[in-house]
Chains A and B, each alone.
Chain A
Amino acid sequence: MKLKFAMFSTAIMFLTITLLSCGGGNNSTPSTPAAAPTASTAETKTDNGNPSYDPKRGTGKFTKVDIPATLDAAKASAGEKVFNVKCSSCHKLTDEKLVGPGWKGVTGRHSAEWIMNFSTNTDEMIDKDPKAQAMLEICLVRMPNQNLSDDDARNIYEFMRKNDGVK
């Protein structure tokens, strides 16, 4: 019985406050909290098992790159210049790992498309590609996006070919 009284008076008290209170603006009850942020991260997480994803080529703008049988020396030399500024901090030309894996034999391990996509679309590749993710588990440093142009990427690939003995 006592409990009922208490509840009743509390209810009256609450109502009265609501009616009499003159806080600024609207005197209605407080509105519900703003809607939670809509989930917008969904699209970045899916692709690992997606059949449309080609792990040989990776993800990025390069779908088909024509590579001639012999070396393009001009491209390789341009690629070496970019290597010296933007890549050599972490990659050796031997098979030894520095921060990232050594480049010896890299053109045999990955397709031209995969390498060029990885070097220009680095973050998405690390998020999606199984081979890139496997390397991250070994190196533990995400490869920095060094903002290579498309030409830079192609020239570096040619320099990698030269390093792998293509004449």
Chain B
Amino acid sequence: MKKINFSLVALSAAVLFAMNSCKPKNAGNAVSAGAAEKAYVAPGHYDEFYNFVSGGFSGQVSVYGLPSGRLLRVIPVFSNDPQSGYGYSEETKPMLNTSHGSIPWDDQHHLALSQTNGEIDGRWIFANANNTPRVARIDLKTFNTTEIIELPNSAGNHSSPFITENTEYVVAGTRFSVPPDNVNGDVPINSYKQNFQGTISFIKVDKEHGGMDIAFQLNCPPVDFDLSHAGKGKSHGWFFFSCYNTEQANTLLEVNASQRDKDFIMAVNWKKAEEYLKAGKGKKIATKYVHNVYDEATQTAKSETKNEVTVLDVKELKDICYFIPCPKSPHGCDVDPTGEYIVGSGKLAALIPVFSFDKIQAAIAKKDYAGDYNGIPVIKYESALYGEVQKPGLGPLHTEFDGKGNAITSFFVSSEIVKWNIKDLKVIDRQPTFYSVGHLCIPGGDTKKPNAKYVIAYNKITKDRYLPTGPELNQSAQLYDISGDKMQLILDFPTTGEPHYAQAVSADLIKNNSVKFFKIDENKNPYVTKGEAASKVVREGNKVHVYMTAIRSHFVPDNIEGIKVGDEVYFHVTNLEQDWDIPHGFGIKGAPNAELLIMPGETRTLKWTPEKTGIIPIYCTDFCSALHQEMQGYVRVSPAGSNVPLLFSTGKNMPKTDSSQKK
């Protein structure tokens, strides 16, 4: 009897447990056997992929290793960075300059790795600033932001940066339509339809050095341009942009921009636009925007203001733009590896339309239009449509491709990723995400040659995934192995800021080109100090330039006297080290403008305006050697007008009263 009782209890407990574990959205149990092994990268071993992930409202870009999910680096781009001194040092301050002045914090959404022949070439990654419209270029040899260009006539740079298959252009479409910069913008907000304009910028990229320049802007009807992708292969020469708010509402867009059954994907024939430009059809209009370039030789950024831009009007100049109806506020606008299929993801639609490039071309040739929208031809939906994926899930957002004929789409509302076949439009597999997936990424998944080992889902809601840390939790990324028939969740890792688009690439394309230190012989910073013998302190009126060196483990000079209240002191610190991963830091007590971190072979400048007399300590903030704690010194600050002579030394104990000490 006893025996039966025990067994019964045990059985019912087991059944209860088993039932519980069937709930698919339980925080703990969706990971199946073998997952740990697949995501495990042994200590001391390298990951197989770099994963560049946009930082959203942090303004920065973070870099993870895959499959481990290790955070390798946060690259400062559109926000000040207290870790590296980006935006604080005199050399990097100009990078954050805009036509509105210096902006310390922006919103970074999307990333595009440079391509050659439709494949990732590992040279640069482009990043957008969503709030104050800009595009940045990050050099993947140094992981430094080396260029930022501002976009005039734009507001909310959301459909950006997307690139053509040989990085000919980076595009940037405005999310907010606004009155253009060369007219009086002091107009009633509800005159949107009359006074507002949508602008798409085409930024030309120098083949050799990556330098950016706005080649032209397209003046388009006022709507919200959302996302984009370039054509590739057969559709090279075209760009596709998703548009919402074709209702042209200016208030309560949540309701008012969700009225129409179909919004648009705008197809842009940019080769045609180039022809018009060449034929002199562009109009130069006055505006103001800045172009910031970091010169790697002088290690110094310069900000230049530009005063005009060339605009092509797509209403007047025919055959550049065409609208394709696309259901319900399309978000993602993704082109498959062959360039034939364009996938629009209507945020509010219950199906996914797939358009055919060939059919679009045929419809344009036959002028198979349903009418026009603000003077731009609208191609008939059926004439452009290849087919629809029926009942794929709720809230489709983005699609990436595996290069084996399949697409994987993220579904925000139903919290899942869904794999479907492009040819027969049938769903093959679906897996839950935790929770509310936004973007997703397959290495090379938006190029001609995906390397489809993994898909990463970037989720908007983390809730119960990690230990609680107060009201805010880091967003989560989830890694799925997609090498087999079924997608398998193998890893969960937190991300910084809010990830939007991400890019991933085989580590081999980048790791061997990575710079380990800057050669001191090639340092052309005007304030470099090449060797301790060259260190000095120079007064020019109330400006004092300190040419200082740092090496394990001392500064030269480390005793400075003769600084006065009211001086503007510039510490130009050169790190003399010539070895990998040996930065030195530099901190001054009470300096309101932060600190420095100086890479080996680099010169960085901190501006300091002492406001009180006294003895001010300086020290190295980055643990550099066994004697790091000895890497320190003093600056004496005297009152304005004092006669204390300018003296500087290391190891000499000046002034002369103590100079009996041996040098």
Contact = CB atoms under 8 A, between A and B. Distances in A.
Nearest to B489: A24
A146 B15 contact: no
Contacts of B33: 25-26, 28-31
Contacts of B45: 37
14 contacts: A8-B3, A9-B7, A16-B18, A17-B17, A24-B488, A24-B489, A26-B34, A33-B36, A37-B43, A84-B531, A84-B533, A89-B556, A141-B553, A145-B578
A12, A37, A144: residue with the most chain B Cβ atoms closer than 10 Å = A144
B30 A24 contact: yes
Contacts of B531: 84-86, 88-89
B30 to A, nearest CB: 5
B31 interface: yes
B576 A85 contact: yes
A128 to B, nearest CB: 18
A138 interface: no
A71 interface: no
B10 A13 contact: yes
A29 B577 CA distance: 53
Contacts of B519: 147
Secondary structure class of chain A's binding surface, majority of residues: loop
B569 to A, nearest CB: 23
B600 to A, nearest CB: 9
B7 A141 contact: no
Interface string B4-24: 001101110111011001101
Interface in A28-62: 28-31, 33-34, 36-38, 40
A145 B18 contact: no
A159 B133 CA distance: 56
Interface in B507-559: 517, 519-521, 530-534, 549, 551-554, 556
B18 A5 contact: no
Given A17-B14, A89-B556, A144-B582, A22 B22 contact: yes
B15 A16 contact: yes
A16, A28, A33, A85: residue with the most chain B Cβ atoms closer than 10 Å = A85
B265 to A, nearest CB: 35
A99 B431 CA distance: 60
Nearest to A83: B531
Contact of A16 (B11, B520, B532, B533): B11
B579 interface: yes
Contacts of B489: 24
A38 B625 CA distance: 30
Interface residues of B, number: 56
Contacts of A84: 530-534
A89 to B, nearest CB: 4
A37 B552 contact: no
B6 A25 contact: no
Interface of B: 2-3, 6-7, 9-11, 13-15, 17-18, 21-22, 24, 29-34, 36-37, 40, 42-45, 431, 486, 488-489, 517, 519-521, 530-534, 549, 551-554, 556, 576-579, 582, 625-627, 651
B549 A89 contact: yes
A20 interface: yes
Contact of B32 (A16, A24, A89): A24
Nearest to B534: A84
A33 B2 CA distance: 39
Given A5-B6, A22-B18, A144 B11 contact: no
Interface in A102-144: 140-142, 144
Given A24-B489, A37-B42, A88 B13 contact: no
A86 B576 contact: yes
B242 to A, nearest CB: 33
Contacts of A85: 520-521, 530-531, 576
Contacts of B534: 84
A30 B31 CA distance: 11
A63 interface: no
Contacts of B530: 84-85
A25 B3 contact: no
B579 A20 contact: no
B627 A13 contact: no
A29 B34 CA distance: 10
Contacts of B577: 144, 146
B486 A5 contact: no
Contacts of B554: 89, 99
Contact of B44 (A17, A40, A140): A40
B576 A34 contact: no
A33 B40 CA distance: 10
B14 A16 contact: yes
Contacts of A30: 33
A21 B486 contact: no
A144 B580 CA distance: 10
Contacts of A24: 24, 29-32, 431, 488-489
Given A90-B551, A142-B625, 19 more contacts: A13-B11, A16-B10, A16-B15, A23-B21, A24-B29, A24-B30, A24-B489, A25-B33, A26-B33, A26-B34, A30-B33, A34-B42, A38-B42, A84-B533, A84-B534, A88-B533, A89-B576, A146-B578, A147-B578
Contact of B532 (A8, A25, A89, A142): A89
Contact of B37 (A17, A31, A36): A31
Contacts of A10: 10
Contacts of A69: none
Contacts of A86: 520, 531, 576, 578
A13 B578 contact: no
A9 B14 CA distance: 10
A152 B400 CA distance: 52
A144 B579 contact: yes
Contacts of B578: 86, 144-147
B144 to A, nearest CB: 20
Contacts of B576: 85-86, 89
Contacts of A36: 42
Contacts of A141: 552-553, 625-627
A140 B488 CA distance: 51
A90 B531 CA distance: 11
Contacts of A8: 3, 6-7
Nearest to A146: B578
B18 A9 contact: no
Contacts of B625: 141-142
A37 B34 CA distance: 17
B574 to A, nearest CB: 10
Given A13-B14, A99-B552, A6 B6 contact: yes
A5 B9 contact: no
Contacts of B40: 34
B626 A21 contact: no
A124 B31 CA distance: 44
A6, A24, A86, A144: residue with the most chain B Cβ atoms closer than 10 Å = A24
Contacts of A5: 2-3, 6
Nearest to B39: A34
Nearest to A81: B531
Contacts of A88: 531-533
A29 B37 CA distance: 14
Given A22-B22, A25-B32, A37-B43, A99 B553 contact: yes
Contacts of A20: 14-15, 18
Given A23-B30, A37-B44, A12 B551 contact: no
